[in-house]
Amino acid sequence: MSRRRICIAVLACATCASSTALGARPEAPLLPLPWSGAGVPAPNFDRPYRIGGLQVELPDPVWAGDGLRAAPPRRLLGLAPGEHSGAAVWDRSTGAWFASVAGELVRLSPEGRLVSVASDIQGLDVDVRAGLGLAVAREDDAIVLHRFGSTGRSKSVLIAGEGYFGPRLSPDGSLVLVERSRPDGGRFLVVDLRGRARDLGPGYGAAWHPDGRHVLYAQVRHDGYRILASDLHVVDLISSRRQLVSRTSHTAEMEPAVSPDGRWLAYLDGLTGDLCVVSLPKLGGR
């Protein structure tokens, strides 16, 4: 068995073992990066590191401060049966996981505590820059900006209307990436903290590059039932230039997630549900 297959087997096994984990700790464990070893060729879209057999319901690669996970923590300790909370998000400003629970924004402590840091967070889908005292939340039909901590407590609607979801703060917290579900196909946009929006066009699964300048997204083909194909693109927010990142016939690249150092790109293969990782080419230089 090749080293690569062994590594993949280890990864898959580790992921399986984590499938029943609950609580404040991530449901999916860190995925080791064996390809970073010397002598191992960098993966690319034609030959990605593919991690199959994931037992998480919704593979959604996320880079935390300590590595890659197949999905963020979605179920938290300390909640009563039937009590909903949102999926956790990794805050790079504080190096901690946060989530919305019963109207409060909580930090997930390593001990399993849900430490409330802000209240009146009505939505479940949030993103946080706690170090900046910022949080954004999808609250019914609006994206709301919350300021808390030393900056004082306030909330303001950044953008309102049906179908806005998935607010994600830029690395520096100055912009919010928002997706919108529409009958004619989803779009994504960036909104500054004053609510000024910029429509970036059709796209699916938009995600920040750690440089805060580029946004990756997928263009998906489907038949109304199934995903047929998907490729990743990137848009430069300064130049508005768009660039195709991947074009493969055998993989539907979706849900891009770039490592904090910008070296790696994890994504979901919409055809198989596998998690893949490739070495990310430098953006913006070409």
Residue from the set 186, 214, 251, 267 that interacts with another protein by CB under 8 A: 186
Residue from the set 14, 115, 142, 283 that interacts with another protein by CB under 8 A: 115
Picking from 119, 68, 87, 98, the residue whose alpha carbon sits closest to that of residue 256 is 68
* Range 171-208 burial, b when 16+ CB lie within 10 A, else e: bebebbbbbbeeeeebbbbbbebeeebeebeebbbbbb
Residue range at the interface with another protein (CB under 8 A); choices 26-34, 47-55, 168-176, 219-227: 219-227
Residue range at the interface with another protein (CB under 8 A); choices 89-97, 128-136, 173-181, 236-244: 173-181
Closest approach, Cβ 153 to another protein, in A, equals 12
Picking from 148, 76, 158, 74, the residue whose alpha carbon sits closest to that of residue 109 is 76
Closest approach, Cβ 183 to another protein, in A, equals 4
**Nearer to another protein among residue 12 and residue 136 (C-beta):** 136
Interatomic CA distance for residues 208 and 58, integer angstroms? 20
> Could you tell me how far CA 240 lies from the centroid of its own chain?
22
Strand partners, 96: 91
Strand partners, 218: 204, 232
142 binds another protein (CB under 8 A): no
39 binds another protein (CB under 8 A): no
**Nearer to another protein among residue 264 and residue 267 (C-beta):** 267
β-pairing, 214-222 with 227-236? antiparallel
276 binds another protein (CB under 8 A): no
Residue from the set 226, 241, 247, 250 that interacts with another protein by CB under 8 A: 226
CB 177 within 8 A of CB 171: no
Q: Where along the sequence are the contacts to another protein (CB under 8 A)? A: 57-58, 74, 76-84, 86-87, 101-104, 106, 112-117, 119-125, 138, 140, 162-163, 165-166, 179-186, 204, 220, 222-227, 270, 273
